[in-house]
Amino acid sequence: MRIFFLALASAACGFMLSACVKNTQVAESSTSTSTEDTEQSTEVVMPNSDCHNCGMPSLEYPKWVSRADDLYFCSPRCLMIKCMKDPKIKTATTMTVIEYYETKPLAVKDAFFVIGSDVTGPMGNDFIPFADQKAAQDFMAEHKGKKILRFADLTQELLNEALGR
Q: Which of 49, 50, 54, 92 is the binder for Zn ion (CB under 5 A)? A: 54
Closest residue by Cα to residue 76 from 102, 33, 106: 106
Mask for 104-123, x = binds Zn ion (CB under 5 A): --------------------
User: Does residue 66 interact with Zn ion by CB under 5 A?
Assistant: no
Based on CB atoms, which residue is closest to Zn ion, 83 or 140?
A: 83
> Site for Zn ion (CB under 5 A): how many residues?
6
Give the separation between CA 123 and CA 76, rounded to whole angstroms.
10
Based on CB atoms, which residue is closest to Zn ion, 72 or 130?
A: 72
Based on CB atoms, which residue is closest to Zn ion, 66 or 117?
A: 66
Q: Are 65 and 59 in contact (CB under 8 A)?
A: yes
Pick the piece of the chain touching Zn ion (CB under 5 A) from 19-27, 41-49, 54-62, 133-141: 54-62
Q: What distances in angstroms separate CA 42 from CA 72, 114, 139, one per listed residue?
A: 19, 39, 43
User: Does residue 74 interact with Zn ion by CB under 5 A?
Assistant: yes
Q: Are 119 and 130 in contact (CB under 8 A)?
A: no
Give the separation between CA 147 and CA 162, rounded to whole angstroms.
9
User: Does residue 84 interact with Zn ion by CB under 5 A?
Assistant: no
CA geometry: angle at 64 spanning 63 and 67, to 5°? 120
Q: Which of 53, 66, 96, 117 is the binder for Zn ion (CB under 5 A)? A: 53
Sites of contact with Zn ion (CB under 5 A)? 51, 53-54, 56, 74, 78
